[in-house]
């Protein structure tokens, strides 16, 4: 009955068109009434306490870094560098998209920011070259969801806070899985374009490649600084977010000189608006998380999954399917905040490595950003690329299936995640 009250109130509020943050508050209030615990003061205390977290400061700073990179020319120079490297091969613009997407992921950590930048920069080029617009848009959308996987990742920060798992370990453990997701897209694109008769642009000379590398050097240096700093213990993930924002601002304003005082105001406002939405959502979810603990919902979920508890692979399969289903109807951040306090006791009881689970959980939620009908990234690509949602959805299907196939391969062979992870943070 407790689970029914919580889920029913949440779904009813969402069906009425209430924003997800307020829907979470409504479901929390409903659960408080059901448990005979209603107290406005407790509600307010948990709401304020939910956002009062030092690690969560990484969210607004990574948001700010992403805005600066897109406006300040870092994103464009990375695309130009990828174009110089592989733009000349058959289907080269698709490989450029994947390579640029992986590099941008190591800068911003936001699927929406990466998808918007890639769509604006590459979709017109791919369409002009003769690629099917729906397929090109689908590839860009699928590439955009690598953003929350490869560190720095806002999704991993939120999960780390909600699950009390080391964010630094999550960052380092997600590097190889993120690249494997990119590899799955690479193979899928190669298969799809093998029969296309599009003439690629001429190969760039060594001098042109070196020039593109020199222009992109300062942008490419940022992920190196962040990852080396985290690996060596120079700074925490929160401090890394500040470093990313300050570094991006310095490079954009002083070296590339593409950000003026007038642009800076708009950048800060855009980052503040996005951060406010995310932080309020986190605060509202923490109310529900506290009530989930009080109502002992995790033990009820453990009881439901008891048949799978003796087999870690089957349990992970069941959890991944559950998250897939939820991801079709709910955005990434609320899914993380709602399911993490429910699933972590199950994961701990089964003896599954919480870092491994966190990486897999974020990968699944990231792919959920391109699963219809919600598909936040699909909406971004459709809007920026002036396409219909139906076309983008049709184009993304083969790439989405490839990403899910790679995800389940990591479930069957956990060492694909845990092996490289131990190398990075041992």
Task: Give the model confidence (pLDDT) of 36-65 as tens digits.
Answer: 777 777 777 777 776 777 777 777 888 788
Average pLDDT, the chain: 83
Q: Are residues 11 and 119 in the same domain?
A: no
**pLDDT of the residue at 279:** 78
Q: Are residues 92 and 231 in the same domain?
A: yes
Give the integer Cα–Cα distance in Å for 93 and 135.
12
On the question of pLDDT at 413 being above 90, the answer is yes
56: Cβ–Cβ under 8 A, 6 or more apart, which residues? 157, 158, 161, 279, 282
Residue with tokens 């080391």: 166
**pLDDT of the residue at 409:** 95
Average pLDDT of 317-325?
Answer: 88
What is the token pair recorded at 424?
A: 């990075």
Give the integer Cα–Cα distance in Å for 29 and 23.
10
Question: Which helix (H) or strand (E) is 230 found in, with range?
Answer: helix 206-231
Task: Give the model confidence (pLDDT) of 14-29 as tens digits.
Answer: 778 777 778 777 877 7
**pLDDT of the residue at 100:** 85
| Count of CB atoms situated within 10 Å of the CB of 263 | 15
**pLDDT of the residue at 373:** 64
**pLDDT of the residue at 43:** 73
**pLDDT of the residue at 329:** 67
Residue 57 DSSP code: G
Confidence band for 374, pLDDT divided at 50, 70 and 90: low
Query: Mean pLDDT: which of 88-92, 254-258, 371-375, 422-426 is highest?
Result: 254-258
Q: Are residues 106 and 133 in the same domain?
A: yes
On the question of pLDDT at 172 being above 70, the answer is yes
Q: Are residues 31 and 159 in the same domain?
A: no
**pLDDT of the residue at 3:** 64
**pLDDT of the residue at 297:** 65
Q: Are residues 150 and 10 in the same domain?
A: no
Confidence band for 407, pLDDT divided at 50, 70 and 90: very high
260 domain-assigned: yes
Confidence band for 86, pLDDT divided at 50, 70 and 90: confident
Least confident range from 191-200, 208-217, 239-248: namely 191-200
Exposure string over 3-24, b if 16+ CB within 10 A, otherwise e: eebbeebbeebbeeeeebbebb
Average pLDDT of 198-226?
Answer: 84
When divided into structural domains, the chain yields a total of 2
Task: Give the model confidence (pLDDT) of 233-243 as tens digits.
Answer: 788 878 888 88
Identify the burial level of 98 via C-beta atoms within 10 angstroms of its C-beta, where 0-12 means exposed, 13-18 middle and 19 or more buried.
buried
Nearest to 335 by CA among 148, 61, 192: 148
Confidence band for 125, pLDDT divided at 50, 70 and 90: confident
49 domain-assigned: no
Q: Are residues 152 and 3 in the same domain?
A: no
Q: Are residues 377 and 311 in the same domain?
A: yes
On the question of pLDDT at 196 being above 70, the answer is yes
43 domain-assigned: no
Q: Are residues 213 and 242 in the same domain?
A: yes
3-state secondary structure of 56: helix
Nearest to 360 by CA among 298, 419, 410: 410
DSSP 273-294: HHHHHHHHHHHHHHHHHHHHHH
Confidence band for 185, pLDDT divided at 50, 70 and 90: very high
What is the token pair recorded at 35?
A: 């448990």
On the question of pLDDT at 128 being above 70, the answer is yes
Q: What residues make up the domain containing 21?
A: 1-38
**pLDDT of the residue at 424:** 66
């Amino acid at each position: 009955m407790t689970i029914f009250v919580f889920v029913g109130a949440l779904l009813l509020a969402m069906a009425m068109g209430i924003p997800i943050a307020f829907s979470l508050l409504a479901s929390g209030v409903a659960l408080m009434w059901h448990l005979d615990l209603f107290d406005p003061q407790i509600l307010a205390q948990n709401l304020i306490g939910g956002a009062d977290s030092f690690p969560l400061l990484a969210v607004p700073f990574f948001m700010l870094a992403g805005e600066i990179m897109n406006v300040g020319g870092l994103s464009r120079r990375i695309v130009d560098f990828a174009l110089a490297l592989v733009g000349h091969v058959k289907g080269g613009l698709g490989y450029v998209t994947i390579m640029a997407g992986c590099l941008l992921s190591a800068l911003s950590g936001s699927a929406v920011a990466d998808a918007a930048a890639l769509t604006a920069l590459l979709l017109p080029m791919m369409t002009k070259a003769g690629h099917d617009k729906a397929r090109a848009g689908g590839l860009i959308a699928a590439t955009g969801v690598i953003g929350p996987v490869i560190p720095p990742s806002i999704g991993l920060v939120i999960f780390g806070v909600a699950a009390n798992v080391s964010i630094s370990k999550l960052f380092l453990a997600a590097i190889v899985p993120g690249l494997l997701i990119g590899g799955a897209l690479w193979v899928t694109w190669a298969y799809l374009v093998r029969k296309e008769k599009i003439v690629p642009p001429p190969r760039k000379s060594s001098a042109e490649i070196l020039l593109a590398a020199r222009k992109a050097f300062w942008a490419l240096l940022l992920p190196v600084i962040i990852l080396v700093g985290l690996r060596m213990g120079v700074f925490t993930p929160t401090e890394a977010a500040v470093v990313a924002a300050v570094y991006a601002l310095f490079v954009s304003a002083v070296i590339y000189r593409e950000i003026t005082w007038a642009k800076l105001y708009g950048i800060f406002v855009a980052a503040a608006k996005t951060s406010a939405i995310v932080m309020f959502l986190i605060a509202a979810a923490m109310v529900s998380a506290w009530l989930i603990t009080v109502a002992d919902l995790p033990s009820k979920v453990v009881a439901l999954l008891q048949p799978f508890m003796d087999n870690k692979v089957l349990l992970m399969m069941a959890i991944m399917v559950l998250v897939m289903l939820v991801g079709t109807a709910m955005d990434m951040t609320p899914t993380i905040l709602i399911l993490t306090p429910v699933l972590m006791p199950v994961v701990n009881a089964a003896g599954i490595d919480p870092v491994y689970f966190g990486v897999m959980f974020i990968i699944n939620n990231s792919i959920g950003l391109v699963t219809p009908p919600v598909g936040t990234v699909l909406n971004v690509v459709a809007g920026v690329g002036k396409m219909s949602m139906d076309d983008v959805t049709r184009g993304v299907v083969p790439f989405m299936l490839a990403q899910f196939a790679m995800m389940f391969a990591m479930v069957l062979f956990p060492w694909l995640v845990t092996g490289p992870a131990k190398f990075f943070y041992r």
